[in-house]
Structure 1
């Protein structure tokens, strides 16, 4: 995903927080079964080198996990946290698979502690 409106639409989807990331899943409803991935890491996490390292880890995880556990026809957004850099790869893999499983049981827009803007 590269367009801001896609990320904003995904923000209204299902939200599953995990130690190294927050997963947002938003079914597009356009009849196309392709799964799309978006990755974002804020500047609060670190400098460009740190953010890019986290994004590379997430891209590798998504290539490995999404084909088996992802939602067909949905946008998946990973929002990186600082723990993603220090966590081992196997732990992140387990957390992503668990988050995708949990996302099927979370209500759309659920798990929000802050009001919508």
Structure 2
């Protein structure tokens, strides 16, 4: 599978769908042009030093290589944003999560956000709670 190289490609995929898995977050964007799928890898410094980040990236590349071309949606770009657990998760589980994530991320019914939106402004709630301290009733 071809890899994403340019920052602009990574930013474009970030505007598409997003699905969380145990070891990574899958970002995906359907392309209109008839082309082979492309994939990019992101491993931040939060996951560890350079040796750890390299091992995680190698495991993710190996998981992608395990997939048959029929299991990868065509005409799409994907980015895998690694988590620390990508290093310790058993490899068959990593591949299974990747298969399900690649198919689910392009589904329009999949919510893009991070769960339910909060009700109201959290700062106002905190201010309201602390504003009553020291007052006698």
Normalized against structure 2, the TM-score is what? 0.75
Question: Which runs of structure 1 show a deviation greater than 3 angstroms over 4 or more consecutive aligned residues?
Answer: none
| Structure 2 residues without counterparts, runs of 5 or longer | 118-137
Distance across 2 between alignment mates of 1:107 and 1:4 = 27
Query: How many correspondences in the alignment?
Result: 113
The equivalent residue for 2:30 is 27
Show structure 1 runs of 5+ residues with no match. none
Gap change, CA 1:66 and 1:54, over 3 Å in 2: farther
Q: Is the contact made by 1:21 and 1:81 (CA closer than 8 Å) also made in structure 2?
A: yes
Rg larger in 1 or in 2?
2
CA contact (8 A) 2:36 2:76 kept: yes
The structural deviation recorded for 1:71 is 1.7
Shift of 1:111: 3.0
Q: C-alpha deviations, 1:16-54, integer Å up to 9, x for none?
A: 10010000111122x232110100100000000000001
Greater RCO, CA 8 A, separation 6+: 1
* Structure 2: distance between partners of 1:58 and 1:19: 13
TM-score relative to the length of structure 1? 0.87
Moved more, 80-89 or 59-68: 59-68
- The within-5 A match list for 1:1-117 is 1-29=4-32, 31-65=33-67, 67-107=69-109, 110-113=111-114
